[in-house]
Amino acid sequence: APAVFTGVDVYQSSFNPQEYLKEFYTLSDSQGQPNTFLMENLKILFKMFSLDGLRGDTLIDVGCGPTIYQLLSACEHFQEIIALDYTDQNRRELEKWLKNEPGAFDWKPVVEYVCELEGDREKWAEKQEKVRKKLRQVLKCDVTKANPTDPVSLPPADCIVSTLCLEAACKDLDTFRSALKHIGALVKPGGHLVMVTVLRETYYAFNKQVFSCLRLEKNMVEEAVEGAGFDVKFSEVQTYLPGDIRTDCEAVLSLVARKLASIT
Ligand code: SAH
């Protein structure tokens, strides 16, 4: 594990989106081994976005990175999507895909996999276009700021989704708790938070770069979500066997929470 927290400056200077995508977002690795981490996350995202009430006009993706897998089931239930990330090169990589520019990452196998889960593998091109059409803005954000999109103020959304971001962005549990309050403020009362978080991970590495991760337990995440004014409606843990040299991740927590009406 790295001795020090890798903050936004490290992300900005050393996070290579293309290498990240190659390392973690192909369905099988160079030895032909299936990417169970990705496939399990796609299954649980499909399950969570199928829950009652997970629909509305607007969805905000917090800490999107260069990826779209987290929007594939979500896009069926929301009309407009706004994606946020700190790092310039990650937002740029996402826009490359959005505009179908040369060199953009090929999400087809992943989109096909999700379409198969949803019942029709042949609909992959349609779904891909749906994401492109609905994803309206890709904006800079910093989850450690009270208004993560400052100086832009976004109208509160019906739902926010955040995958593998806060545990990377927060140096300690207090920062994690405040970050949840900051991103929680981007949702309307009665709206939802969909989160996928790694548990007990202290680092992940790719492209010879190591990134720190806040070591979290299930109850810490749930308590922080509740502390941000949400009621946890769904929570499931998927465990992983040790042996992956790229990370010491032990499990993934997926949860859906509903924002309570404000007391003020
Ligand atoms: N959601 C994507 C990317 C996760 S990688 C996925 O599921 O694969 C972690 C992401 O968090 C990176 O894109 C990084 O740029 C972003 N990040 C790190 N610190 C941040 C901060 N303070 N505010 C917003 N995003 C941050």
pLDDT tens digits, 213-258: 999 999 999 999 999 999 999 999 999 988 899 999 999 999 999 9
Q: Ligand 1 center to residue 145 CA distance, Å?
A: 14
Instruction: Count CA atoms within 13 Å of residue 43 on its CB side.
Output: 11
Tell me: the pLDDT tens digits for 183-206? 999 999 999 999 999 999 999 999
Q: Containing H/E element for 197?
A: strand 187-199
Backbone angles phi, psi at 37, to 5 degrees: -55, -50
Q: Ligand 1 center to residue 264 CA distance, Å?
A: 32
Note whether residue 2 is domain-resident: no
Rounded to the nearest integer, the mean pLDDT of the chain is 96
Q: What is the DSSP letter of 147?
A: S
Q: Ligand 1 center to residue 169 CA distance, Å?
A: 7
Rg (CA), the chain: 17
Binding annotation = 20, 25, 69, 85, 90, 142-143
Note whether residue 1 is domain-resident: no
Confidence of residue 31 (pLDDT cuts 50, 70, 90): confident
Which residue's CA lies nearest to atom 13 of ligand 1?
A: 65
Query: What number of other Cβ atoms are within 10 A of residue 52's Cβ?
Result: 6
Question: Does residue 168 line the site of ligand 1, with CB under 6 A?
Answer: yes
- 239 forms beta bridges with 251
- State the pTM of this model: 0.97
Tell me: the pLDDT tens digits for 138-178? 999 999 999 999 999 999 999 999 999 999 999 999 999 99
Q: Ligand 1 center to residue 164 CA distance, Å?
A: 7
Ligand 1 closest atom vs CA 61: 1
pLDDT above 80: residue 61: yes
Note whether residue 132 is domain-resident: yes
Structure-model confidence comparison of residues 29 and 261, the more confident one: 261
Question: Does residue 41 line the site of ligand 1, with CB under 6 A?
Answer: no
Question: Does residue 63 line the site of ligand 1, with CB under 6 A?
Answer: yes
Which pLDDT score, from 0 to 100, does residue 180 have? 98
Note whether residue 84 is domain-resident: yes
Backbone angles phi, psi at 135, to 5 degrees: -75, 100
Confidence of residue 262 (pLDDT cuts 50, 70, 90): confident
Domain count, the chain: 1
Note whether residue 202 is domain-resident: yes
pLDDT above 90: residue 18: yes
Exposed, middle or buried, 64 (CB in 10 Å: 0-12/13-18/19+)?
Answer: buried
Question: Does residue 71 line the site of ligand 1, with CB under 6 A?
Answer: no
CATH code for the domain in which residue 74 is found:
3.40.50.150
The bridge status of strand 135-140 relative to strand 78-85 is: parallel
Note whether residue 3 is domain-resident: no
Q: Containing H/E element for 160?
A: strand 157-163
pLDDT above 80: residue 102: yes
Question: Does residue 72 line the site of ligand 1, with CB under 6 A?
Answer: no
Of residues 164, 76, 80, the one with CA closest to residue 128? 76
> Rounded distance, CA 80 to CA 62, Å?
14
Residue 76 domain boundaries = 8-259
Q: Ligand 1 center to residue 162 CA distance, Å?
A: 9
Question: Does residue 142 line the site of ligand 1, with CB under 6 A?
Answer: yes
The separation between the first and the last C-alpha atoms of the chain, rounded to the nearest angstrom, is 43
Amino acid at 249: C
- What is the arithmetic mean of pLDDT over 84-88? 98
Note whether residue 38 is domain-resident: yes
Note whether residue 264 is domain-resident: no
DSSP 164-196: S-HHHH-SSHHHHHHHHHHHHTTEEEEEEEEEE
Q: Ligand 1 center to residue 80 CA distance, Å?
A: 21
Question: Does residue 163 line the site of ligand 1, with CB under 6 A?
Answer: yes
